Amino acid sequence: MTEPPERKDFARPWENDEDDKGRVVPLPGFEDSPAVESDESPDRSPDEEAVVPGIDVDDGSDIDWLQIEESEFDVTQTEYTSATTQEYIGLAEEIRQAESEVWEQQAVSAHLPGVDSGLVGFEDVSGRHLGSEEDFEAMEQAATSDLAMRVGSGVVIFGLFLGSLFLGGPWFTAFVVLVMIVALGELYATMRTAGHKPLALFGLLAMILMGVGAHQSGVAAIGLWAGVATGVTVLFVAVAPRRQPLTDAAVTILGLAWVGLLAFAIPIARGPFPLEHILFIIIVVAVNDMGAYFVGRAFGRNKMAPQLSPNKTWEGFAGGLVAGAMVASIMVSFPAWDPIGLVNGLILALIVGLVSPIGDLGESMVKRSIGVKDMGSVLPGHGGMLDRIDGLLLVLPAAYFAFRAFGLL
């Protein structure tokens, strides 16, 4: 059997190096094999190294063919050349294109037997620590605790509301006055963090007088005591030396006039159907808010007021109107709300759907102007009291006059 020939360390056409021409590298294990001159290279000088037997070398840049028995190496010259060159065609261009592209890292979801979580991200292979299992459990417990606080505080407030409404009379008036005092106190405290100095004493006294006056004398007392409080505030800042009298007076009057609108719930509750009318308004407002939230989240595209409330959309606004109209039409079919009637119920639902978003946007405008997310934290998981009643503040006066127009008060 023919001994294996020496291996020629050749260069491909694009790697040609003049210094490597004609250099012979023995094959491993055959370093001592004698070099035999090729009959097909008569021009080789005596100083050149011997070439491998059976290999015809033209100029050192490529190999014509391995003249070896075809029984052992049954390939053609074209196949050999293609095998060493074609696989590299376009490789450099592909590398340049790959380097110029921007690759977006994505997490891969995979199911791995025996592994609790099948979410595999690039952080898992990069070595960056994102937290232990205990950290994630703590986060889940915190989220669960926050939800429990939201539900718990909501149940407590709603229970106090229903209890005072069932007891009626001074109990409900006391509840409404307490809510107004807490909401106004939060507003004034937030204004102070923004550098304003409202006259809190005048505003809080006005809340008490407006609530008690509405209980005893009706709606006229609300406007009367609001006007008295405004006059006293202006007189005080005009006499007492203050650094920003105009701003202090404006913030004080804004708070008592805005939060004081909640006092309209008292004359509604003093009417012939206190429980039915108040519950009708509260339920329609709540359903309107939920309908606007879910519809806006699912289909919302067009922003109502992107500068004030980026999450409010016109699609959500329409969804709230439809949801409020549906629940109103269902409620009037029950005997408790039968005196309202279908037409009046739909009108009230329309009023709620139009006015409630304005109240929300009004509070958003105030919060944006002073740079806060919530007015307070008196309700765990819900924010401040004013954050919960902002929609009612404009709905209650509108509903009161609607009930008067329907002859229900």
Q: What average pLDDT does range 95-102 have in this prediction?
A: 69
More confident residue, 46 or 160: 160
Q: Helix, strand, or coil here: 8?
A: coil
Can you tell me the distance from the alpha carbon of 374 to that of 194, in angstroms, rounded to the nearest whole number?
Answer: 13
Cα–Cα nearest to 323, from 292, 299, 297, 296: 292
**Three-state DSSP class for residue 67:** coil
Q: What DSSP designation does 1 have?
A: -
**For range 49-55, the mean pLDDT:** 47
What does pTM read for this prediction?
0.63
Q: What are phi and psi of 387, to 5 degrees?
A: -65, -25
Average pLDDT over the chain, rounded to an integer = 75
Strand-pair category, 119-120 with 108-109: antiparallel
> Would the pLDDT of 125 be above 70?
no
pLDDT at 222 over 90: yes
CA 103 remoteness from chain centre: 24
- Give the C-alpha separation, 33 to 35, whole Å: 6
Tell me the torsion sign for CA atoms 236, 237, 239, 241.
Answer: positive
- CB 328 within 8 Å of CB 345: yes
Give yes or no for residue 28 having a pLDDT over 80: no
Q: Which residues pair with 309 in a beta bridge?
A: 305
Ranges 67-81, 144-158, 284-298, most confident = 284-298
Rounded Cα distance between 211 and 267, Å, is: 10
Q: Report the C-alpha gap between 350 and 342 in whole angstroms.
A: 12
Higher per-residue pLDDT: 175 or 304: 175
Between 347 and 146, the higher pLDDT residue: 347
Q: pLDDT-derived band of residue 223, with 50, 70 and 90 as boundaries?
A: very high
Q: How far apart are CA 257 and CA 397, in angstroms?
A: 12
Tell me the percentage of the chain whose pLDDT exceeds 90: 36
Pairing of strands 119-120, 303-305: unpaired
* Residue 333's pLDDT band (cuts 50, 70, 90): very high
The phi and psi torsions of 56 (rounded to 5 degrees) equal -95, 115
Ordered DSSP codes for 342-366: HHHHHHHHHHHHHHHHHHHHHHHHH
Listed residue (177, 183, 165) closest to 269, CA to CA: 165
Please count the other Cβ atoms lying within 10 Å of the Cβ belonging to residue 349: 27
Mean predicted confidence (pLDDT) in 176-192: 91
Confidence of residue 393 (pLDDT cuts 50, 70, 90): very high
Amino acid in the structure at residue 230: T
Residue 321 pLDDT level (bands cut at 50, 70, 90): very high
CA distance 312 to 145: 28
Q: Is the pLDDT of residue 5 over 60?
A: no
pLDDT of 216: 92
Q: What confidence score (pLDDT) does residue 232 get? A: 94
Rounded mean pLDDT, 1-10: 51
What local confidence, expressed as pLDDT, does residue 394 receive? 93
pLDDT at 144 over 60: no
Reported as half-sphere exposure (CB side, CA atoms, 13 A), residue 31 has a value of 2
DSSP state of 25: B
Q: Give, as one character, the DSSP assignment of residue 379.
A: B
CA atoms within 13 A on the CB side of 370: 20
Distance (Å, whole) CA 282 – CA 117: 44
Q: Which residue has the higher pLDDT, 306 or 346?
A: 346
b (16+ CB within 10 A) / e for 383-409: bbbbbbbbbbbbbbbbbbebbeebebb
Q: What is the mean pLDDT of residues 152-159?
A: 73
In the predicted model, what is the mean pLDDT of residues 353-365? Answer: 89
Token code pair at residue 126: 């990069």
Q: Which of 201-210, 240-249, 387-396 has the highest mean pLDDT?
A: 201-210
pLDDT at 379: 64
